[in-house]
Structure formats: C-alpha cells, structure tokens
Amino acid sequence: MERRPTEKQVRDVAEALLAVAKDTQIFELCAEPELAKAYPERFQWFGCLSRKDCEIMGVTVPEGIGINGQQRFGCRCLRMKKELLHCKCRCANNCAYCYWKNPPAANKPDSKVF
C-alpha cells in the first residue's frame, strides 16, 4: 500500500533540511516528489542515479534507458544503475536502501562499489 506524507511532514522535512543548508544549496531527491513540488527552487526530483549524475561521472547512458519505475513510489533512478556497479553484490557498508539482497559476507571490505 502506497503511503504518502502529509503536507505537515513535507513542510517539517523541508524546514529541517533548509535550516542546515547553504542559501544556494539545491537538494536532489529520488522518491520524494512532494518536496520537489512544494519547494521547486530548492529541491529537484532526479533519482539516486540520474542522467545528470552519469554526465558528471563521464558515463554514457545507452539509448532507450528510462526511469526504473519498479522501486518505491516516486523512484526516478535509471534502469541501468545496477549495471554500473563493479561489485555485483552487497558491499560491506550495509546501506539501508541497498537493493542487493545477498549478504555482505562474500564481499571484501575494500571492494570498489563504483
């Protein structure tokens, strides 16, 4: 079941982030379209891995690669994000939002993730 934040929750998150941000800082979001819609001058809805990120890193995005759509509501990550990783399994960092399902035991702590 899809659960969307209330207007108060969106406002509280925006105020907390903006309170610690520089005046010109722009936040890039993945699955938080409500923040981007409410505060478009400071929050942009791109995805954890967007075309913009690939351009910055010098990675060519193949033709026909679109937005994932299979992740949580609002996810705008490119479909190719797993394919960009050198380590095709969960790394030792155990990030909360990691989409790899295998345990990190088989990975070396110093493995390159990207």
User: Are 8 and 45 members of one domain?
Assistant: yes
Q: 43: which strand partners?
A: 27
What integer is the mean pLDDT of 10-26? 90
In the chain, the number of structural domains is 2
CB atoms within 10 A of CB 13: 17
pLDDT at 12 over 90: yes
User: Are 69 and 89 members of one domain?
Assistant: no
Nearest to 47 by CA among 78, 73, 71: 78
Which of the pair, 63 or 101, is modelled with greater confidence?
A: 63
Q: Can you give the pLDDT at residue 78?
A: 74
Give dist(CA 36, CA 45) in Å, integer: 6
User: Are 47 and 98 members of one domain?
Assistant: no
User: Are 42 and 23 members of one domain?
Assistant: yes
User: Are 58 and 98 members of one domain?
Assistant: no
User: Are 38 and 51 members of one domain?
Assistant: yes
Question: Which residue range is the domain that position 95 belongs to?
Answer: 81-114
When pLDDT is cut at 50, 70 and 90, the band that residue 88 belongs to is low
Q: Can you give the pLDDT at residue 111?
A: 47
% of the chain beyond a pLDDT of 70: 67
Question: What's the predicted TM-score (pTM) here?
Answer: 0.57
CB atoms within 10 A of CB 90: 19
Nearest to 35 by CA among 62, 11, 61, 58: 11
Q: Can you give the pLDDT at residue 85?
A: 63
CB atoms within 10 A of CB 30: 19
